[in-house]
Amino acid sequence: MFRSEYADVPAVEEPIHDAVLGHAAERGEAPALVDGVDGTTLTYAQVDQFHRRVAAALAEAGLGKGDVLALHSPNTIAFPVVFYGATRAGASVTTVHPLATAEEFAKQLRDSSARWIVTVSPLLETARQAAELAGGIREILVCDQAEGHRSLLDLLGSTAPEPEVAIDPVEDVAALPYSSGTTGVPKGVMLTHRSIATNLAQLSPAMPMGPDDRILAVLPFFHIYGLTALMNALLRQGATVVVLPRFDLDTFLRAIQEHRITGLYVAPPIVLALAKHPAVAEYDLSSLKYIVSAAAPLDAALAAACSARLGLPPVGQAYGMTELSPGTHVVPLDAENPPPGTVGKLVAGTEMRIVSLDDPDKDVAVGERGEIVVRGPQVMKGYLGRPDATAAMIDPDGWLHTGDVGHVDADGWLFVVDRVKELIKYKGFQVAPAELEALLLTHPGIADAAVIGAYNEDNNEVPHAFVVRQPSAAGLSANEVMLYVAEHVAPYKRVRIVTFIDAVPRAVSGKILRRELRGLS
């Protein structure tokens, strides 16, 4: 068993809005949220005041303890105001992917029993269709303006009294994001006020922030990584959050330059762009002090290339999952010479085991690969309405089985190799897709790549690579790709099938959507 080197932190048993915004009023005119495109700024005093007015208006409309509000929006400076307003009114917030179809949105509405929707006018038609399909929606509100719908400005004008709700941080659910976990369809992940707030306290010693930090929030707030690292953690510590609604490389680079961004929390595709895209050279990124990557495996060579190009310390990584509120590991900002490729060390108050893939009751030795299992106060309450799925993931001793494969070195650094369900079994040998993907990205003619298992005519599962050519390598052939890999790996790891595609399908978090690739194979 591995334990964190940091001193334990006491569980934070207060509502998430108080845990994050408890000092907002006293920070006064310090900038809290800045629109990265038009510069509109909300001060800490405004965030404190506005979220309380939103809570009052929502409570007056009937939202209260036990209710669920669906927040369906890209990143905006209004998103945190609505989120904390809803939790202060006593509700749980289920965050919805802005690109969800009406059918997908309706499934989440039904499963979560949401009765209120807050969206933005460009997404209003999808929200309306979803509400009609799901039924039971009491009101659709918008953050901006739309005829026939109350807006955030309308809520801010409420003169209703601020609600006083008795929230039990241990049991009451603050956030209800949806995750597939290790298998299956998306499930509502019940994250309590305590699990989220305590995770913020666990992360603070390794990732300290303050008023001098200006962090660019381009990863989505609806995803637990963005919700914690780019919203809750930063606002809790008094940093300035510069918000972008989506990733566009030039807009992203311009925002770093114009807002003098000091730190980035990104996913591997953005690291890839920073390392390789020619547009990077056209902007002044000298304000940057560090980059942290999470949400998907980052190849050590790619991380080194990014750091070298920008003249920064090594790109740090972090590790976790929605079911863990989400953080369990991080490379501390002050770490000296962390080993390349590590996702970090355990955050405070967290325990970990690496168990055998063949016998989950058996722990493997230091340096050996196995499934990562974690225990700590940040573990989710469970999956909403799915006790069997919860029991399959969290054992009776409280260990959450992540479905990720990794190993730990003698100094406690964790390395994530792949996911259990994504491992390719070639004639009994295990092949990690992430390893082959990292190798493929070192080819000068390859812009992006993904690998899945596919069955050949002999019914053997073999590595199947989906490759995006660089514009300058239009003539790159499948044989050249296979030969390149064969020169660098053991025979059982060789890529046996190559398909060229225009883009690797990825979730907003950066994770490869392997199910979509299986539909192409």
Confidence of residue 128 (pLDDT cuts 50, 70, 90): very high
64 in the same domain as 136: yes
414 located within any domain: no
189 in the same domain as 65: yes
Confidence of residue 483 (pLDDT cuts 50, 70, 90): very high
Mean pLDDT of 391-403: 96
- Pick from 376, 405, 434: which residue ends a domain? 405
Q: Residue 429: which CATH number?
A: 3.30.300.30
513 located within any domain: yes
148 in the same domain as 10: yes
pLDDT at 180: 72
Q: Is the pLDDT of residue 202 over 90?
A: yes
Q: What is the DSSP string of 279-309?
A: GGGGS--TT--EEEE-SS---HHHHHHHHHH
Q: Is the pLDDT of residue 420 over 90?
A: no
What is the sign, positive or negative, of the torsion defined by CA atoms of 341, 347, 349, 350?
Answer: negative
Tokens matching residue 86:
């809803």
Q: Is the pLDDT of residue 458 over 80?
A: no
Q: Which range marks the domain in which residue 445 is found?
A: 423-518
Q: Return d(Cα 493, Cα 510) in angstroms, integer.
A: 24
**Percent of residues, the chain, with pLDDT higher than 70:** 99
Contact 449, 469 (CB under 8 A): no
**H-helix or E-strand containing 238?**
none
437 located within any domain: yes
Q: Return d(Cα 96, Cα 79) in angstroms, integer.
A: 12
Which residues face 69 on adjacent strands? 93, 116
Q: Return d(Cα 219, Cα 237) in angstroms, integer.
A: 19
E strand segments, 87-229:
92-96, 116-119, 139-142, 173-175, 178-179, 187-192, 214-217
Contact 425, 461 (CB under 8 A): yes
Tell me how long the chain is.
Answer: 521
Other beta carbons within 10 Å of 443: 19
Q: Is the pLDDT of residue 418 over 90?
A: no
Q: How far apart are the first and last CA of the chain?
A: 40
331 in the same domain as 196: yes
Q: Which residues contact 297 (CB under 8 A, 6 or more apart)?
A: 268, 416, 418, 434, 437, 438
- Pick from 338, 370, 405: which residue ends a domain? 405
415 located within any domain: no
Ramachandran region of residue 181, left (φ > 0), alpha (ψ -120 to 50) or beta?
Answer: left
pLDDT in tens, 63-83: 999 999 999 999 999 999 999
428 in the same domain as 400: no
Q: Is the pLDDT of residue 431 over 70?
A: yes
373 in the same domain as 447: no
488 in the same domain as 439: yes
Q: Is the pLDDT of residue 291 over 80?
A: yes
Q: Which residues contact 422 (CB under 8 A, 6 or more apart)?
A: 433, 452, 453, 514
pLDDT at 510: 86
pLDDT at 476: 98
437 in the same domain as 311: no
Which residues face 137 on adjacent strands? none
Q: Return d(Cα 410, Cα 188) in angstroms, integer.
A: 37
413 located within any domain: no
172 located within any domain: yes
Cis peptide before 326 (omega within 30 of 0): yes
410 located within any domain: no
Chain-centre distance of CA 298, in angstroms? 14
378 in the same domain as 351: yes
Q: Residue 189: which CATH number?
A: 3.40.50.12780
What total number of domains does the chain contain? 2
363 in the same domain as 488: no
431 in the same domain as 401: no
pLDDT at 184: 64
Contact 325, 224 (CB under 8 A): yes
283 in the same domain as 200: yes
Q: Return d(Cα 253, Cα 259) in angstroms, integer.
A: 10
- Pick from 355, 376, 405: which residue ends a domain? 405
Mean pLDDT of 239-244: 98
80 located within any domain: yes
Residue 133's SS3 state is helix
Confidence of residue 422 (pLDDT cuts 50, 70, 90): confident
pLDDT in tens, 153-195: 999 999 999 999 999 999 999 999 998 776 667 899 999 999 9
